[in-house]
Amino acid sequence: MNQLLAVFGCGVALLGCTSVESASINSADFATSGDAIAVIQASALGLTFLANTIEAVPSDLDVVVNRLLITEAKAMGASRIELKSASTTARQGIYRLPALIVGVPSSTAVGIAIK
């Protein structure tokens, strides 16, 4: 039983990962409503069980936009973000079928940090 819990814990740790990438940009090269300082991309990979009813590691738009993208922008000195794209894995209706036992949803958001 302890080995099973250890394997489960390692699986959650490996699959529940996030990534935040950023690149500094020249404000004159982009048409934004302010001084653009960076392009930021945030990604999260989650883990669900039993047709997405049990969420072991969260991965949704709330995680990538609010926890990752905005946090990174504020750490860079930005006052706001111009969101360019955001997407997440569908989890309702027929999209539950691939996750009957275990699901691995992913979410991504891209934005421009503005000073």
Which contacts (CB < 8 Å, 24+ apart) does range 70-78 have?
Answer: 72/20, 72/22, 72/40, 72/42, 72/113, 73/38, 73/40, 73/111, 73/113, 76/22, 76/37, 76/38, 76/40, 76/113, 77/37, 77/115, 78/37, 78/38, 78/113, 78/114, 78/115
pLDDT confidence of residue 14: 52
pLDDT confidence of residue 12: 55
- Sequential pLDDT tens for the chain (115 residues): 666 555 566 555 555 689 999 999 988 888 888 899 999 999 999 999 998 888 988 999 999 999 999 999 999 999 999 999 999 999 888 888 888 888 999 999 999 999 9
pLDDT confidence of residue 97: 86
